[in-house]
A and B are shown apart, each in its own frame.
Chain A
Amino acid sequence: MFENLTKKLESAFKNIRGQGRLTEANMKDAMQQIRQALLEADVHYKVVKKFITDVQDAAVGQKVIESIHPGQMIVKIVHDELIKVMGERNAPLAEASAPPTIIMMVGLQGQGKTTTAGKLALMLKKRGKKPMLVGADVYRPAAIQQLEIVAQQAGVESFSLGVNANPVDICLMARGEASMRGCDTLILDTAGRLHVDAEMMAEVRQISAQIKPHEILFVASAMTGQDAVRSAKQFHDTVPLTGVVLTQMDGDARGGAAISLIDVTGCPIKFIGTGEKLEALEAFHPGRMADQILGMGDIVSLVEKAQQVVDRDQAIDFQKKARKGDWNLEDFLAQMQQVKKLGSFGDLIAKIPGLNKMMPQGLEGAEDELKYTEAIILSMTPKERRNPVIINGSRRRRIADGSGTSVQEVNALLKEFEKMKKMMKQMMRGPKGKPPRGFSPPMPGF
């Protein structure tokens, strides 16, 4: 779809080449296409209007470079402007100078507040914090039980006073309870409420005024449409929001509501929810979001699929090993098997825009190669996999026989593996000794 937009823009610019500069007049059709793309992604129409003006201002007068098509230029400008709107870097969570840090979750019904509260608790726990989940939703049947179960799953403390208590009292009591249990972070799960419900909005204002949270996170689904601006504005006018959590990013919604939410609240998007598991909460990446809004969702879903399939702890383990250089063939095999879980190469390629045309054939070859590689490694003993140096001539012959390959192929694999190991060690060290986020060792054939 990203390609579609580029293509549409190309046709909108058919007559421009050689005209020299982008002008308001010759960009008219292109702006129409961009408007449509953004509206289809659920960006609020008023925000789109404003945005289009910004893009136009950025583009007008720019010289059309001969080698680049004006359509591609515009896409780049739009992409950059989207990133600018969303903020270039992701914003960290606020922390109280003296604990406890209080984080309050607010939003409409069904956006995923309780689940997100649990995810956030787990994330903070992994960072060495001691969070306590506070059940302040006394309205939805079994909401408190849900929070308690989520707390159990995350392995964190939880607190509530049952459905007959006042939510303000629950939150106030939670404070004292937190210091008693030695918790340094409170996550308040408030009830979902409609922004037009005066009584319920008064309640959330009261909680906020009495508890003075350090973070008030507005939880909204990525599937939200044009109404995002109205609800977010009303919430922001009621309680001082500090950030947004965009949930259900694992679906195929384009998530244009992100732009609307940022525009109307002026708050950064702090996290995105990317799955049903408690681990599925990630930092927000404006660049990736821009891709998705412009319809490059396929590649995003691929990445997410990879994240679902790839065992996180194992990935971290790999990173550590790769950095130290003691990454071995056993790790390699495990990784290869994880990649296979993603599906066939054909599937993968089809998801990456442009690549399907670049690589029309030879895919079966790559898949076969992977099979042979796996067979060779499987024919080794665990000891050999852990320490390939011991693989001498007779072992190589045995492995070749066992895997139905030749000694040459076994040699080639071992050589390639050593090369890769060295390369990875360098890469993982990086400039400051830290691997780039999400980096994991490469795979053969990729």
Chain B
Amino acid sequence: MSFFTKLRERLGKTRTSLADGVRRIFTGRGRVSDEVYEELEELLIEADVGVETTQQIIGDMRRTARERGIDDAEALYAVLKEEMAALLDNGSKQANWTVESGPHVTLIAGVNGSGKTTTAGKLAQKLREQGRTVLLGAADTFRAAAVEQLTIWAERTGAVIIRQQEGADPAAVAYDATDAAIARGVDNVIIDTAGRLHTKINLMEELKKIQRVVSKRLPGAPHQVLLVLDATTGQNGLIQAKIFTEALHVDGIVLTKLDGTARGGMAVAIQKQLGIPILMIGVGEGVEDLQPFDARQFVDALFGEGGN
């Protein structure tokens, strides 16, 4: 099921009203006026793109419109979508799950409640479906029952799980997981870490230690670090991404919970201000709902459009 079918199915009215908003701004307006830009600004802000990034995008649009001599509102809309898709397009950058030799290690990080464990579980299932062997590292030793939650995912997907008791050193779990994966010749390791607010210095240090310890056991690992971000997050997402990226070698973002009415526009700001790409999106509870990111589809969805 495509992202749009899913969205259409789930959103119904809300999505329609948003699409109506976009249509109202651009359709039948004839010439581009300041009013069009103002309404567009509101639309982007409401999608959580943020004031600064919105103003930059609109500034770019005004310039393009001037340069190309566009004065028709509908033509301008096409320009907007095109520019945003270009901004978000990662080109060849996609989530990667293979490495020449030894296990491929992915580290999952993010603030509390963004959906890390669920993402880890879904990734395990996807990889298992591709016939790969997977080992889950339960390095969230802090939250009550987080290990149990991941264990249930391991049982569901037929992945191996490496776990210790609650309160154990997460770096030790990550080390053990990597070690066990090497010994067993597992294809993929996914390490689930505890949620942490980026403002907690000690917890960010702990994350660095996990990364360090894993690379010590297996040079080059973790091969991929994914930052899980909740699409309902507002402007704080930008600083979250910044600080997590300063602590870890973040390859990209998994934008979760896009099946609600949140547009995840802060990911646009993250891409524009920090250059961190969105690699995957979560559009539902099912395993198939974790999908590779597609810039054009995302922009359409951002404006509540597309997918007939």
> For the complex, is B263 an interface residue (Cβ under 8 Å from A)?
yes
Task: Collect the chain A residues with CB atoms within 8 Å of residue B146's CB.
Answer: 142, 146
B233 and A223 form a contact (CB under 8 A): yes
B34-72: which residues lie under 8 A (CB-CB) from chain A? 42, 45-48, 50-52
C-alpha gap A228/B262 in the complex (Å): 9
Task: Collect the chain B residues with CB atoms within 8 Å of residue A112's CB.
Answer: 112-113
Given contacts A141-B149, A225-B266, A251-B197, contact A196 B51 (CB under 8 A): no
> For the complex, is A221 an interface residue (Cβ under 8 Å from B)?
yes
B265 to chain A, nearest CB (A): 8
> For the complex, is B153 an interface residue (Cβ under 8 Å from A)?
yes
Binary A-proximity of B241-275 (CB < 8 A = 1, otherwise 0)? 00000000000000001011111011000000000
Task: Collect the chain A residues with CB atoms within 8 Å of residue B263's CB.
Answer: 227
Given contacts A45-B42, A196-B11, A223-B111, contact A142 B152 (CB under 8 A): yes
Query: Quick one: which of B11, B111, B166, B234 contacts A225, CB cutoff 8 A?
Result: B234
Binary B-proximity of A92-134 (CB < 8 A = 1, otherwise 0)? 0000000000000000111110000000000000000000000
Task: Collect the chain A residues with CB atoms within 8 Å of residue B231's CB.
Answer: 227
Interface of B, secondary structure class, is loop
Chain A minimum-CB-distance residue to B262: A227
- Interface 9-residue window, one of A36-44, A202-210, A351-359, A411-419: A36-44
> For the complex, is A1 an interface residue (Cβ under 8 Å from B)?
no
A225 and B233 form a contact (CB under 8 A): yes
Given contacts A194-B260, A248-B197, contact A110 B234 (CB under 8 A): no
A276 and B115 form a contact (CB under 8 A): no
A42 and B14 form a contact (CB under 8 A): no
A221 to chain B, nearest CB (A): 7
Binary A-proximity of B226-241 (CB < 8 A = 1, otherwise 0)? 0000111111110110
C-alpha gap A231/B240 in the complex (Å): 23
- Interface 9-residue window, one of A252-260, A264-272, A375-383, A420-428: A252-260
C-alpha gap A111/B232 in the complex (Å): 10
> For the complex, is A250 an interface residue (Cβ under 8 Å from B)?
yes
**Contact residue range for chain B?**
35 or more
A149 to chain B, nearest CB (A): 4
C-alpha gap A196/B72 in the complex (Å): 35
Task: Collect the chain B residues with CB atoms within 8 Å of residue A40's CB.
Answer: 50-52, 235
A45 and B45 form a contact (CB under 8 A): yes
Task: Collect the chain A residues with CB atoms within 8 Å of residue B257's CB.
Answer: 108-110, 194
B267 to chain A, nearest CB (A): 11
A140 and B112 form a contact (CB under 8 A): no
B114 and A196 form a contact (CB under 8 A): no
Given contacts A109-B113, A141-B152, contact A231 B260 (CB under 8 A): yes
> For the complex, is A153 an interface residue (Cβ under 8 Å from B)?
yes
B272 to chain A, nearest CB (A): 15
> For the complex, is B216 an interface residue (Cβ under 8 Å from A)?
no
> For the complex, is A161 an interface residue (Cβ under 8 Å from B)?
no
A252 and B239 form a contact (CB under 8 A): yes
Given contacts A39-B51, A146-B145, contact A227 B10 (CB under 8 A): no
C-alpha gap A45/B239 in the complex (Å): 21
Task: Collect the chain A residues with CB atoms within 8 Å of residue B27's CB.
Answer: none
Chain B minimum-CB-distance residue to A222: B236
The contact sample of 25 A-B pairs, CB cut-off 8 A, is A42-B234, A141-B152, A142-B145, A142-B146, A143-B149, A145-B145, A146-B149, A148-B145, A149-B145, A149-B166, A194-B257, A195-B260, A223-B234, A223-B237, A223-B240, A225-B232, A225-B235, A226-B47, A226-B48, A226-B234, A227-B48, A227-B231, A230-B260, A252-B236, A257-B234
* Partner-B contacts on A (CB < 8 A): 36, 39-42, 44-45, 108-112, 140-143, 145-146, 148-150, 153, 194-197, 221, 223-228, 230-231, 248, 250-254, 256-257, 276, 301
* Known A225-B237, A248-B111; further 20 A-B contacts with Cβ < 8 A: A40-B51, A40-B235, A110-B115, A110-B230, A141-B153, A142-B145, A146-B145, A194-B257, A223-B233, A223-B237, A223-B240, A224-B232, A225-B233, A226-B45, A227-B262, A227-B263, A230-B260, A250-B197, A254-B236, A301-B199
